[in-house]
A and B are shown apart, each in its own frame.
Chain A
Amino acid sequence: MPEIKVESHPIDIVFRTERLPHIFCPGCGIGPATHAYAQAILESGIPKDRHACVSGIGCSARVPGYIDVDSYHTTHGRSIPFATAIAVVKPEMEVTVFSGDGDLFGIGGNHFIHAARRNVDINVICINNFNYGMTGGQAGPTLPLGARATTAPYGNTEPPFNLPYLAAACGAVFVARWTALHVRQLKDAILRAMQKKGFTFIEVLSPCPVGFGSPNDIGDAIEEVWLYRERCVVDHNACLPDLEIDLRRKDVPFVMGNFVDIEKEPYDPLAMMKKKGE
């Protein structure tokens, strides 16, 4: 059967469709990641009214504005304490932070480590496109060594963060890394994160043809995605310190997986009061 042209998509139920199309570049990986998140919202069994989505500033941070839930587009780097407050004041809400690598780990790094340490019951989805995309492709804390960006025109001299390692070390109870290509596994990981009580973290490697691909001689988005297709391996039991992304060495794979899935008491500010009552 040939294709049928229509005007709406089954996932539209989760979106503020009057705001579509979104602002992301053709081939941007935020789109598939958002779709995986939206699909997870649908399948979570939690009604839209009980979801909250919080972000900072950046391309990825524009996502909550498109999702038909209580959404909060806050200040650069400060989405996590904002989300923490919603989660403790209204524990019945399913709070997800959907933001980018620069926002969460550059300016927002301090808040990430403390929320993970506390094991606050929020889900953090970090779209890692290796640069500050919204502002034109500046270097960020996840830019691979040697890669170029507008503020690193000769090549980056700073080693990047190994995000899953960082998250696990800070105390996250669920740590996963997928790419915008691995949408099914990503959706399943987000569902698992929503089910879990405690601080969950999912890194999503994403193509950014304009901010990252272009300065680094990657022709277009499809070429960047094929890079993931070729170099990604799935290993849920990988050793966390070895998860660094190294663009230069073709023999070093990008390791994907659900690396950490443990149980730990989630943060409760009134925990000591309840203990007293026992």
Chain B
Amino acid sequence: MAGVIVRQPLDRTKVRIPRGQLYIIPERCKGCRFCIDFCPRDVLVETSEMNAKGYHYPIVAEGKEDECIACQFCSILCPEFAIYTEEIVEEESVE
């Protein structure tokens, strides 16, 4: 027998988890790792590349490209104003 959906939220198709686009400014980074450690979705990882000052700046980890929820925490937490997110606004898709 197929699974029966007994109860579901009425706005199931309307509420979306936001998705975010990450922007970084590599030259500003000082390698403190605040963003990497405190991202609630563990989206970020240190790159092996370095900026001109020798710091490893963050990039989106492999496989985590769709995990950013644009919570902006990295943006406000970064001491160097070197990272921010923008919410990706898409057309609503009907499931």
Contacts and interface: CB of A to CB of B under 8 A. Distances in A.
A31 interface: yes
Interface in B27-47: 27-28, 30-34, 37-38
Interface residues of B, number: 33
A225 interface: yes
Given A2-B22, A21-B28, A183-B76, 4 more contacts: A2-B60, A31-B78, A32-B34, A32-B76
Interface in B46-95: 55, 58-60, 65-66, 68, 73, 75-82, 84, 88
B79 A6 contact: no
A223 to B, nearest CB: 10
Contacts of A3: 22-24, 58-60
Contacts of A7: 25, 27
Interface string A1-36: 111111111111001000011101111111110011
Contact of B65 (A1, A12, A184): A1
Contact of B77 (A2, A10, A20, A183): A183
A5 B21 contact: no
Contacts of B27: 7
A97 interface: no
A245 interface: no
A225 B58 CA distance: 18
* Contact size range, A: 35 or more
21 contacts: A1-B21, A2-B22, A2-B59, A3-B60, A4-B21, A6-B23, A7-B27, A9-B81, A9-B82, A11-B75, A11-B84, A26-B30, A26-B55, A27-B34, A31-B79, A35-B79, A36-B76, A183-B77, A221-B33, A221-B34, A226-B37
Interface of B: 21-28, 30-34, 37-38, 55, 58-60, 65-66, 68, 73, 75-82, 84, 88
A35 B83 CA distance: 12
A145 interface: no
A39 interface: yes
A28 B79 contact: yes
Contacts of A25: 30
A130 to B, nearest CB: 18
Given A26-B30, A32-B76, A184-B76, A5 B81 contact: no
A222 interface: yes
Interface string A154-194: 00000000000000000000000000110110010000000
A245 B75 CA distance: 28
Contacts of B65: 1-2
A180 B77 CA distance: 8
A29 B77 CA distance: 9
A10 B84 contact: yes
B79 A30 contact: yes
B37 A222 contact: yes
A26 B31 contact: yes
A28 B68 CA distance: 25
